[in-house]
């Protein structure tokens, strides 16, 4: 058998050419951006497997996956650290940074070791798939600073003031197994297997010092003629969001400034799976649904307006002098004008986890298997105190939507600035003087 | 405000034009194929919302979703009937047929009732999305014939001999809440929200007589350069399947013949969620993984061959006289040559349900949260006795893969012939003389 026909050699060649774009720097544990962006060579690329427009750059002053136009799929995971050594956390973030740089260009998590007597370094289910705009965004939970009263890694002195613990909100029914985490990974891609694959490789790379705690996949459906996705309530979601292309507004609401120290150019993520009682919602009259949301269901226009992009007129009244947009409607309570200008960058996904047994708390008091589905709410902001917490304190008390939605888990994570050449994500915190 | 600017009227118009392709026949509860295929009119179509190549025809002698080229997403659901009246089942299948015909062309489940004082007839999250090749395939479980020893609907006399109860296989760990069902719906589409939306509407339409029992979403990732999808073990799956374009082989293995009575032109579906111990698998050497599967991981070629499509040579031996493809490898045990020619049409999807607590049954005896992920195995055949059951009796005993996979639920369903003009799916059984 010639080497041309040896399947093992063929396999190796293909894996190697696939990784060609980053191969030059692959020997080190951190890939520099210059290398990652070097022109790729080899048959994998010649065959068009990695068109540039399928790749979102991992490197930069901001982590990708925040301002990045939203992909179709997310796999979100939170991890608990099982080590008490800061050096282990440094090594973890170093290896995760390196792997993320490789994965986001469509390469395997590690350079392939062709030894058949070793476990494959990459589980392989994304082999042959394009990068699909994969972004991997890392965040730190409060447990990195203090857990059970202990400053485990000597980092608590650098915990930013803005990084508060999320308060308990009315209506929260947080399940421990879906809540918290010392670290988080948000993997977004235009393919669900690519997103899952990324987190799976990171979980494995970190398995000696980090245990995966909870995870949630999600999806978002956009078509050419439906640029605003609809959530599972059937309403358009994402209208009136912070415009990611507007640097001024991103600075104002999303990116942390100088005051944040090592968090400068980072952002705080609040991620909460929120179950929606779909069967209950579906029994509501159209007019009531629209009153709850404050928008027309089909067009997405604010009540009393005709187009999705029309501004919300909170002062409009009907012939009887009643507000056109109800006092306790979702859009009114969430509007910047109702929250002293507070705005957050929403970046959520719908989820479905099959069915679970539900005892309804409303007529007809049905009990049985119902859809375990809803919204993986995710939002980014430069200060949660004046962002999510400020807005949600009001929403959690007064929003008519609350009778249909239940936060069941989640947490807050500090997503540091992006990595530049030779750096790893989180270096400015973990190697603080 | 002119009617042109009235959002409610606009909404109605848009919904109506969206449904234009089927509007002519929408007044009746069953849409005839002639009407469904009539040229569509109205702005929805003019705007290109429903390109023909995005639509898989619902009508035909075979149900769509079996020979249909596999879509990227599935939402599979099983239902329990809560009625004892055959007339209720007839009315259910009539309304499901009508709704499926509408949904698969991208229309709402029911013609839109614009009354704001009524609950919307369609939950709306697929509004604005294309049909995405949606197929909806219905099946009957054994409970339609006999449940708890009772012939509930007087149909047991027409239960085909081929429709046996699935035996318990070694290794099965079937969870009641994920097993069985009197009816099933397989919704496949190139968009997850379109597939979920379809089942949600059907569940709601049937809620008075059918209770959803279990559900599982799944995905399948194919790229231009990766026509054979990889499963979560990282191996190509679907190689050596029954060629759906080959009518002779489809008749031989998949479509029920004259002997099936009302099941003629139908097919039997076995659907089983199978958990894969990914963390365990990932710790195995590459060579061992390839021995388990009987194929090379990267190329998909049978062991000893170089190309995915190369035929499996079960007689090949190495220099020591040992078989190149191990006796207890998956491909050998599943091969037609090992099963007297038995073949099934596999149509499975990967799934991930987040994490669950697992106590590993192997070194290093890890306990904790692990990926709750695997394969929603689905296969079609014209006789399960000579199809899945015959093949899996051997696989379940001897397949090396069994130490990594655990069937956790599922069932068998008789999927009758497709509906022709004026018919509903299952009519030949439910209105049997």
pLDDT digits (tens, 9 = 90+) for A356-367: 999 888 888 888
Q: Please tell me which of the candidates A203, A350, A357 has its beta carbon nearest to residue B193.
A: A350
Closest residue in chain B to residue A50, using alpha carbons only = B225
Q: B198 near B189, Cβ under 8 Å?
A: yes
Identify the residue among B230, B235, B408 best suited for mutation to test binding to A, counting A beta carbons within 10 A and taking the highest.
Answer: B230
Asked if the Cβ–Cβ distance from B194 to A221 is below 8 Å, we say yes
Secondary structure of B167-189 as H, E, C letters: CCCCCCCCCHHHECCCEEEEEEE
Mean model confidence pLDDT for chain B:
88
Q: Which of A14, A75, A128, A201 is nearest to B221 (CA)?
A: A128
In sequence order, the 6+-apart residues with CB closer than 8 A to the CB of B406 are B171, B173, B274, B275, B277
Q: What is the pLDDT of residue B228?
A: 85
Residue pointed to by tokens 């003031």 = A161
Which range (A162-171, A236-245, B17-26, B64-73) has the least confidence? B17-26
Burial B400-422 (b: 16+ CB within 10 A, else e): bbbebbbbbbbbbbbbbbbbeee
A211 closest CB neighbour out of B15, B299, B369: B369
CB contact under 8 A, B234 and A127: yes
What residues form DSSP beta bridges with B218? B74
Distance from CA of B383 to the nearest CA of A (A): 29
B208 CA: distance to closest CA in chain A (Å): 12
**Tens-place pLDDT, residues B220-232:** 998 776 678 999 9
| CB contact at 8 A, B336 and B311 | no
Identify the pLDDT of residue B19.
35
Residue B44 pLDDT more than 60? no
Give me the interface pTM, i.e. the ipTM.
0.89
The verdict on a CB contact (< 8 Å) between B130 and A223 is yes
The pLDDT of residue A373 is above 70: yes
| pLDDT tens-place string over residues A326-349 | 999 999 999 999 999 999 999 999
Residue B208 has pLDDT above 60, yes or no: yes
Question: Does the pLDDT value for residue B322 go beyond 50?
Answer: yes
Q: What is the DSSP string of A357-386?
A: EEE-SSTT--EEEEEEEEEEEEEEES-TTT
CB-CB contact of B82 with B210 (8 Å): yes
- Dist CA B178 CA B77 (whole Å): 10
pLDDT tens per residue, range B53-98: 699 999 999 999 999 999 999 999 999 999 999 999 999 999 999 9
Interface test with A, best of B51, B128, B277, B292 (most A CBs within 10 A): B128
Confirm whether pTM is higher than 0.80: yes
**In sequence order, what are the residues at sequence separation of 6 or more whose Cβ sits closer than 8 angstroms to the Cβ of residue B189?**
B71, B72, B73, B131, B132, B133, B134, B135, B195, B198
Read off the pLDDT band of B178 (50, 70, 90): very high
Question: Average pLDDT for residues B190-200, to the nearest whole number?
Answer: 98
Mutate one of B8, B123, B294 to test the A interface: name it (highest A CB count within 10 A): B123
Residues of B with CB below 8 A from A193's CB? 219, 221, 230, 350
Q: Which residue matches tokens 């670290």?
A: A183
Q: Are A117 and B306 inside 8 Å of each other by CB?
A: no
Contacts B302 to A, Cβ<8 Å = none
Residue A119: list chain B partners with CB under 8 A. Answer: 282-286
Q: How far is CA B174 from CA B16, B191, B331, B406, in A?
A: 45, 29, 24, 9
pLDDT band, residue A13 (cuts 50/70/90)? very low
Give the mean model confidence (pLDDT) for residues A203-224.
Answer: 94
Q: Which member of A192, A298, A306 has the closest CB to residue B15?
A: A298
């Amino acid at each position: 058998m010639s080497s041309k026909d040896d399947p093992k050699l063929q396999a190796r060649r293909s894996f190697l050419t696939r990784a060609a774009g980053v191969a030059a720097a692959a020997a080190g544990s951190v890939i520099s951006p210059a290398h990652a962006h070097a022109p790729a060579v080899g048959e994998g690329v010649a065959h068009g497997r990695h068109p540039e427009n399928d790749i979102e750059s991992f490197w930069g002053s901001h982590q990708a996956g925040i301002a990045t136009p939203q992909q179709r799929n997310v796999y979100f995971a939170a991890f608990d650290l099982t080590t008490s050594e800061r050096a282990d956390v440094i090594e973890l973030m170093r290896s995760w940074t390196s792997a993320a740089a490789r994965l986001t260009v469509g390469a395997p998590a590690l350079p392939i070791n062709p030894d058949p007597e070793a476990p494959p370094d990459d589980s392989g289910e994304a082999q042959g798939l394009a990068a699909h705009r994969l972004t991997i965004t890392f965040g730190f939970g409060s447990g990195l600073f203090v857990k059970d009263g202990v400053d485990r890694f000597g980092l608590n002195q650098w915990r930013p003031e803005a990084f508060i613990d999320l308060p308990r909100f009315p209506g929260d029914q947080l399940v421990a197994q879906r809540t918290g985490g010392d670290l988080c990974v948000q993997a977004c891609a235009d393919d669900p297997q690519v997103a899952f694959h990324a987190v799976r490789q990171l979980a494995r790379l970190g398995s000696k010092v980090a245990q995966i705690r909870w995870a949630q996949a999600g999806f978002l459906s956009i078509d050419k003629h439906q640029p605003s996705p609809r959530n599972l309530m059937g309403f358009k979601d994402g209208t009136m969001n912070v415009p990611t292309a507007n640097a001024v507004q991103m600075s104002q609401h999303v990116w942390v400034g100088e005051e944040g120290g090592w968090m400068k150019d980072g952002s705080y993520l609040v991620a909460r799976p929120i179950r929606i009682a779909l069967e209950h919602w579906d029994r509501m009259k159209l007019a009531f649904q629209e009153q709850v949301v404050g928008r027309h269901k089909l067009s997405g226009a604010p009540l009393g307006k005709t187009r999705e992009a029309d501004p919300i007129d909170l002062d409009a009244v009907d012939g009887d002098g009643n507000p056109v947009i109800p006092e306790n409607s979702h859009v009114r309570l969430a509007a910047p004008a109702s929250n002293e200008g507070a705005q957050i960058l929403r970046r959520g996904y719908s989820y479905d986890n099959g069915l679970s047994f539900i005892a309804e708390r409303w007529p007809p008091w049905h009990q049985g298997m119902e859809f375990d589905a809803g919204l993986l709410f995710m939002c980014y902001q430069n200060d949660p105190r004046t962002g999510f917490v400020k807005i949600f304190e009001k929403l959690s008390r007064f929003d008519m939507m609350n009778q249909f939605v239940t936060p069941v888990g989640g947490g807050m994570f500090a997503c540091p600035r992006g990595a530049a050449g030779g750096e790893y994500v989180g270096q400015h915190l973990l190697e603080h003087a």
